[in-house]
């Protein structure tokens, strides 16, 4: 096994055997490991040597996501009004899917938010209204 001269930390769990069969299946198997495997890794490596995240993206991709993200009172009010309109009319014409986010409070479940995906047409309209894309010809009909 190769070593980095400047590396001073703990043990590394690496199986350096060649993958038999399709590499995609092998990767899928290990990428789908659950909570038990993460706990075992924490016990083996110690918390200081475990990654903070188990996936990452490049800085340009992260910057692109940040540039396309809108937050604050105005976007919140817009999304709230779209949701209210969708409930009052035809929810399926606005959302590909919509699910509530539920937490327990004083022993009772309460809805604290929503998650979902707009239809493609509505997503374009909302982005246009929030100036996240240059789509001047699209207007929101809500």
Residue 14 falls within a domain, yes or no?
Answer: yes
Segment 24-44, tens digit of pLDDT:
776 666 666 666 777 777 787
Same domain, 121 and 70: yes
Confidence (pTM): 0.48
Q: Is the dihedral of CA 127, 131, 137, 141 positive or negative?
A: positive
Same domain, 76 and 22: no
Where does residue 32 fall: left (phi above 0), alpha (psi -120 to 50 degrees), or beta otherwise? Answer: alpha
Residue 139 falls within a domain, yes or no?
Answer: no
Same domain, 120 and 67: yes
Segment 87-133, tens digit of pLDDT:
999 998 999 988 888 888 899 999 988 888 999 999 988 988 887 54
Same domain, 30 and 81: no
Residues 82, 126: contact at Cβ < 8 Å? yes
């Amino acid at each position: 096994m190769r070593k980095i001269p400047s590396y001073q930390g703990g043990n590394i769990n690496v199986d350096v055997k060649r993958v038999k069969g399709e590499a995609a299946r092998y990767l899928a198997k290990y990428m789908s490991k659950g909570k038990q495997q993460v706990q075992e890794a924490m016990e083996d490596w110690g918390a200081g040597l475990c990654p903070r995240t188990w996936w990452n993206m490049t800085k340009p991709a992260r910057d692109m996501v940040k540039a396309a993200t809108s937050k604050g009172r105005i976007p919140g009010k817009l999304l709230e009004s779209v949701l209210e309109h969708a409930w009052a009319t035809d929810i399926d014409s606005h959302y590909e899917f919509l699910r509530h986010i539920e937490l327990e409070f004083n022993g009772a479940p309460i809805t604290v938010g929503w998650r979902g995906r707009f239809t493609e047409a509505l997503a374009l309209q909302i982005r246009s209204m929030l100036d996240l894309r240059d789509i001047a010809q699209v207007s929101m009909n809500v």
